[in-house]
A = this chain, B = another copy of it.
Amino acid sequence: MINKLMSKIEKMNSPVVVGLDPMLSYIPEHITKKAYAEFGETLEGAGEAIWQFNKGIIDTTYDIIPAVKPQIAMYEQFGIEGLKAFKKTVDYAKSKDLVVIGDIKRGDIGSTSQAYAVGHVGTVTVGSKTYVPFDEDFVTVNPYLGTDGVKPFVDVCKETNKGIFVLVKTSNPSSGEFQDQLVDGRPLYELVGEQVAKWGEEHMGDNYSYVGAVVGATYPEMGKVLRKIMPKTLILVPGYGAQGGKASDLAPYFNEDGLGAIVNSSRGIICAYKQEAYSKFGAENYADASRAAVEFMIKDITENI
Contacts and interface: CB of A to CB of B under 8 A. Distances in A.
Interface of A: 21, 23-24, 32, 36, 41-43, 45-46, 71, 73-74, 76-80, 82-84, 87, 105-113, 115-116, 118-120, 124-129, 131, 133-134, 142-149, 167, 170-179, 181-184, 188, 191-192, 195
Given A73-B113, A82-B119, 19 more contacts: A21-B112, A23-B115, A42-B126, A43-B131, A45-B126, A73-B119, A74-B112, A74-B115, A76-B116, A76-B119, A77-B118, A77-B133, A78-B119, A107-B142, A142-B142, A146-B172, A146-B176, A149-B172, A181-B191
Given A116-B73, A188-B178, A43 B145 contact: no
A250 to B, nearest CB: 20
A71 to B, nearest CB: 6
A241 to B, nearest CB: 15
Contacts of A120: 76
A244 to B, nearest CB: 13
A195 B46 CA distance: 36
Contacts of A116: 73, 76-77
A118 B182 CA distance: 34
A106 B140 CA distance: 12
Given A144-B144, A145-B172, A23 B111 contact: yes
Nearest to A132: B79
Given A105-B108, A115-B76, A145 B83 contact: no
B178 A192 contact: yes
A91 B163 CA distance: 35
A79 B109 CA distance: 19
Contacts of A32: 127
20 contacts: A21-B112, A41-B129, A43-B133, A45-B126, A71-B108, A73-B116, A78-B124, A78-B133, A80-B83, A109-B175, A142-B142, A144-B167, A145-B172, A145-B174, A146-B177, A149-B172, A178-B188, A178-B192, A182-B183, A182-B184
A88 to B, nearest CB: 10
Contact of A148 (B106, B149, B174): B174
A82 B142 CA distance: 22
A240 to B, nearest CB: 15
B143 A178 contact: yes
